Amino acid sequence: MSYTTSHRRRNPLTGDWVLISPQRSDRPWSGETSPAEPTHAPERVPDCPLCPGALRSGGGQNPNYRGPHVFTNDFSALSAQGSATPASAAVGLSEGPTPDFMRDEIASGECRVICFDHRHNRTVADLSLDELENLLKTLQQEYSALSANYRCVTLFENKGALMGCSQPHPHGQIWAHEHLSTTIANEDQHQREYFEKHGAPLLADYQAWESNDGERVVFENAGWLVVVPYWAEWPFETLLITKGNQAHFGQLTADNRATLAEAMAVLTRAYDALFSSSFPYSMGWHNAPEPQQEAHWRLHAHFFPPLLRSAQVKKHRVGYEMLGESQRDLSPESAAEKLRLLADDVQHASMARG
């Protein structure tokens, strides 16, 4: 379907709207369009705190690991579990009745860092399928251990300096806490409401619809669908959804991990091919927060890449997007077509090699 006029689309997971303006996609552009600067990092960098054997800034030392390595974040964003300090005292509020506009609470939990590989110059796109499966198995073990103690466990990666990543060594983070983050609570509410109304999981219905329609599909295999969502905000945003009934990372089987490794390999390599660069993004997994009430939920991951026109031109949320609502010029269908063609090329190249 061709979209040529401005319109709005609703994100059913959050209730937010995005303004689509495809008629602006051909407007004159005088911004920067330079390619990414080539990088030739070695496999090990002596002063990198995430490399094997390195002394970290917090005082800990990494073992001479190979493959994935997990450790407790030396600079955790969450207070240690069990803090008895009243929230109002922790944030410096005076004693006495607290007005409704000054609500607060203690946020306790754990933060961990996971190095994806011992090699400094590898990204997810550079890992073999076996290496990716091993990484996913490690992530699953960490998720299962943390979800036994916390309701909300988020596994995520910030890749590239454009996303504020200060350490180029390939790594992600795991944050676990008892409170539900705003996004998880919002997604949980909307998925519950859909399930109560339709008797089926929102993302299960959406996955089936997109697989049948095909226009926004980037890649799919027996276990997973990669799609530029109908309501995408970022230029080349994608949604990775299970085609099974898994509600959280702990439910993945060996077959799930194998097909997921393939989907992630194809997607990240297609991203890299888009502007011939190591494509930056923020991505993360959304797991069901209530293990006993998860029929409405499907495990999924969001990829939010900032690049718009070249390897160094980032989409900025300014003006109307900060004051009104999200807006995009490139339609999700156009973005999906570009990524789908690259995904096909990547997959065929992989098959030719192996």
Asked whether 263 and 255 are in contact (CB, 8 A), the reply is no
Instruction: Compute the distance between CA of residue 171 and CA of residue 249 in angstroms, rounded to an integer.
Output: 18
Name the amino acid, one letter, at 335.
A
Asked whether 279 and 268 are in contact (CB, 8 A), the reply is yes
Asked whether 115 and 67 are in contact (CB, 8 A), the reply is no
Instruction: Compute the distance between CA of residue 210 and CA of residue 241 in angstroms, rounded to an integer.
Output: 11
Nearest to 242 by CA among 217, 266, 259, 218: 259
Q: Which two tokens stand for residue 184?
A: 């998880």
Whats the size of the chain, residue-wise? 354
Please give the helix or strand (H or E) that residue 163 lies within, else none: none
User: DSSP secondary-structure letter at 105?
Assistant: -
Instruction: Compute the distance between CA of residue 204 and CA of residue 242 in angstroms, rounded to an integer.
Output: 8
Q: Which two tokens stand for residue 48?
A: 């990198």
Catalytic annotation, pick one of 118, 120, 169, 171: 171
Active site residue 286: no
Nearest to 210 by CA among 224, 223, 229, 197: 229
User: DSSP secondary-structure letter at 276?
Assistant: T
Strand, coil or helix: what is 55? Answer: strand
User: DSSP secondary-structure letter at 331?
Assistant: -
Instruction: Compute the distance between CA of residue 218 and CA of residue 271 in angstroms, rounded to an integer.
Output: 11
Catalytic residues: 171
